[in-house]
């Protein structure tokens, strides 16, 4: 498919966005851009330098110094910040617990959006996040809003962690996911919200493969 389009995939934490976005990009030979990884990378940098995550000026100082490279190879999801491979580190519980605070700052969002728009300029990208269809790429040719129930998202995360041999508590995950949903949806700037022209896909009862097929179908029908 040689379509000159961008695909925006938004939705709450744990709905399976990155898994399906990565695979949709691979099948279309598009570039996958994980915008959550960009906010996570900045959070990692701020925490590493013991910056106050609530202090916008301090956080902006780190963003200005930050050179972030997202691996072109969608398979690995490589993230390099100022020459350091942070692919694993940005998934730590410390980063996860603080990233919503970082993503709340207005100047931070403005700069991230600018970087993301630059990355999508030549099209053929699949970008996932919270505000892609509404703020980053409002003109994206295909917009998906991917959801799943809180319980199902917690169940998937729980299984992932168990499979990795990590400690995991299902009830705690439910509380954490609901908390992040609240912070992401209630923030003043670019809250998590379905774009009016996005297609909502509820993945609660679907396998990853079914979600990927649904999205590829939408691309075939609407993206030409
Ligand atoms: O998708 P994720 O869990 O890696 O996202 C990490 C955090 O970044 C999450 O709290 C929401 C925020 N985020 C955002 O505000 N805007 C985006 N475009 C992507 C992520």
Q: Is the pLDDT of residue 2 over 70?
A: no
Task: Tell how far the Cα of 201 is from the centroid of ligand 1, in angstroms.
Answer: 19
Cβ of 53 closer than 6 Å to ligand 1, yes or no, is no
Q: Which amino acid residue places its CA nearest to atom 1 of ligand 1?
A: 36
Classify domain 6-204 by CATH architecture: 3-Layer(aba) Sandwich (3.40)
Residue 71's pLDDT is: 82
Q: Which amino acid residue places its CA nearest to atom 10 of ligand 1?
A: 100
Dihedral sign computed on CA atoms, order 23, 141, 34, 204: negative
Count of other CB atoms within 10 angstroms of residue 159: 12
Structure tokens belonging to residue 66: 């930050």
- Across 18-22, 63-67, 186-190, least confident range: 186-190
Residue 188's pLDDT is: 84
Residue 216's pLDDT is: 97
At residue 85, φ and ψ (nearest 5 deg) are -75, 110
Among the ranges 72-76, 89-93, 196-200, which has the highest mean pLDDT value? Answer: 196-200
The per-residue pLDDT of the chain, averaged, comes to: 92
Report the percentage of the chain scoring pLDDT > 70.
96
In tens, the pLDDT along 12-60 reads: 988 999 999 999 999 999 999 999 999 999 999 999 999 999 999 999 9
14 CA: nearest ligand 1 atom: 3
Cβ of 100 closer than 6 Å to ligand 1, yes or no, is yes
Beta carbons of 221 and 32 less than 8 angstroms apart: no
Residue 75's pLDDT is: 63
Q: Which amino acid residue places its CA nearest to atom 16 of ligand 1?
A: 130
Nearest-angstrom CA–CA distance, 65 and 156: 36
Domains of the chain by residue range: 6-204
96 CA: nearest ligand 1 atom: 6
pTM, entire model: 0.92
Q: Which residues, 6 or more positions from 92, have their beta carbon under 8 angstroms from its beta carbon? A: 44
18 CA: nearest ligand 1 atom: 1
Q: How far does the chain reach from its first CA to its final CA, in angstroms? A: 9
Cβ of 13 closer than 6 Å to ligand 1, yes or no, is yes
Q: Is the pLDDT of residue 157 over 80?
A: yes
**Residue to substitute in 20, 35, 125 for testing ligand 1 pocket (most ligand atoms within 8 angstroms of CB):** 35
Task: Tell how far the Cα of 180 is from the centroid of ligand 1, in angstroms.
Answer: 9
Cβ of 36 closer than 6 Å to ligand 1, yes or no, is yes
Cβ of 104 closer than 6 Å to ligand 1, yes or no, is no
**Strand, coil or helix: 106:** helix
């Amino acid at each position: 498919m040689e379509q000159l389009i961008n695909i925006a995939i938004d939705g709450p934490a744990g709905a399976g966005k990155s898994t399906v976005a990565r695979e949709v990009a691979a099948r279309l030979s598009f570039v996958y851009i994980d915008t959550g990884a960009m906010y996570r990378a900045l959070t990692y940098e701020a925490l590493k330098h013991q910056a106050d995550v609530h202090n916008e000026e301090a956080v902006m100082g780190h963003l200005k110094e930050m050179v972030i490279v997202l691996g072109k190879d969608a398979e690995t999801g490589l993230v390099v910040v100022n020459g350091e491979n942070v692919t694993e580190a940005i998934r730590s519980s410390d980063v996860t617990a603080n990233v919503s605070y970082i993503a709340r700052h207005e100047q931070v969002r403005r700069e991230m959006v600018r970087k993301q728009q630059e990355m999508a300029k030549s099209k053929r990208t699949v970008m996932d996040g919270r505000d892609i269809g509404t703020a980053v790429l409002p003109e994206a040719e295909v917009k998906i809003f991917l959801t799943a129930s809180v319980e199902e998202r917690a169940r998937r995360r729980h299984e992932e962690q168990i499979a990795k041999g990590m400690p995991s508590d299902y009830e705690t995950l439910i509380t954490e996911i609901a908390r992040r949903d609240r912070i992401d949806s209630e923030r003043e700037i670019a809250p998590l919200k379905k774009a009016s022209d996005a297609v909502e896909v509820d993945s609660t009862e679907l396998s990853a493969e079914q979600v990927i097929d649904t999205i590829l179908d939408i691309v075939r029908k609407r993206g030409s």
